[in-house]
Structure 1
């Protein structure tokens, strides 16, 4: 079973994670049918970005989170979260800031020795994720895609909904599970559209 992915999204990555809505057409080649529950990703085509915070004491990062529908069912969504635990100047290190993430219960590093598609799954635990190598695409049910490259950091806290993920060969991702699931204070901020 082969998966068709948008080549343009795989060839472009930046030092800043972007929320991208490409029509990835996650239709399985060789099968005319969609998997049950697979959303139609071809409805729209637009690119979203998290804005840079104007306050040096804050930082904005992408977040895979969730919202509940009227029946209480969780759906994973993408947001931009502004955190306020940044020290804007570090004594003795010119031009650097410091972020206090708090405590972590565990950390796991994933090394993908070949390209890999992860079918729909929730985040195992609320975590901060750091990508140190490769290219990744994380898709939520709305069809929005979080495109990632080396150095990108994001929150993954959608533990009741689902997302899919594709990782290129040579990708290295480290999940830092927040201690007792405690997520840093944050505020959802407006995403911009291109």
Structure 2
């Protein structure tokens, strides 16, 4: 799960690049970005999620985090009096925070809440899963879910990024969904 730390607790980050699907770098090799497919219907939404499994462990004993794509079917495809809006019901968040980054920084692995729903309102960020090489990038308008991880994922944030993080106490807060293959 991804919970952000106050800026004074974070170290500076290296240059990050967010454009392009795959990149080649003499220093880092080929970077394969985790990309989710389009929804299977107009009544669905596909969201990237970082999750962990009890059976897969990192060398330090923490659960191995993996990026997946989750497809949610709208519970209310057309909200009354807002017919062009659709609805996916989430439970009551335990906490919510808005983070405005003043400068770029690297967020190291950290202890997360059980579930986070992270909404990018502006800016850009990259998540890296150590041990798997998986990467995901987000920018204004993107959503990311983090569920039941030991916090092995890392984030690099560009200056001017704004995210809202809604955290939940348990996995039961996650609406019904199915895992779909990444692109």
Q: Does the alignment reach a TM-score above 0.5? A: yes
Distance 1:91 1:99 in 2: 14
* 2:154 equivalent in structure 1: 164
How far apart are residue 99 of structure 1 and its match?
1.9
Work out whether residues 103 and 179 of structure 1, in 8 Å CA contact, stay in contact via their aligned partners in 2: no
Residue segments in structure 2 that go unaligned for 5+ positions in a row: 1-10
When residues 2 and 73 of structure 1 are mapped into structure 2, their CA distance, relative to the original with a 3 A threshold, is closer
CA deviations on 1:92-146 (whole Å, 9 max, x unpaired) are 3242212212221111122211111112234333111111111100111211111
Q: Which runs of 4+ in 1 moved over 6 A?
A: none
* 1:178 equivalent in structure 2: 168
How far apart are residue 52 of structure 1 and its match?
1.9
Alignment map for 1:58-97 (pairs within 5 Å): 58-67=44-53, 68-69=55-56, 73-97=62-86
Aligned CA RMSD, in angstroms, stands at 2.8
Larger relative CO (CA 8 A, sep 6+): 1 or 2? 2
Instruction: Number of aligned residue pairs: give it.
Output: 168
Residue segments in structure 1 that go unaligned for 5+ positions in a row: 14-19, 28-40
When residues 164 and 24 of structure 1 are mapped into structure 2, their CA distance, relative to the original with a 3 A threshold, is farther
Work out whether residues 50 and 149 of structure 2, in 8 Å CA contact, stay in contact via their aligned partners in 1: no
TM-score (structure 1 length as normaliser)? 0.73
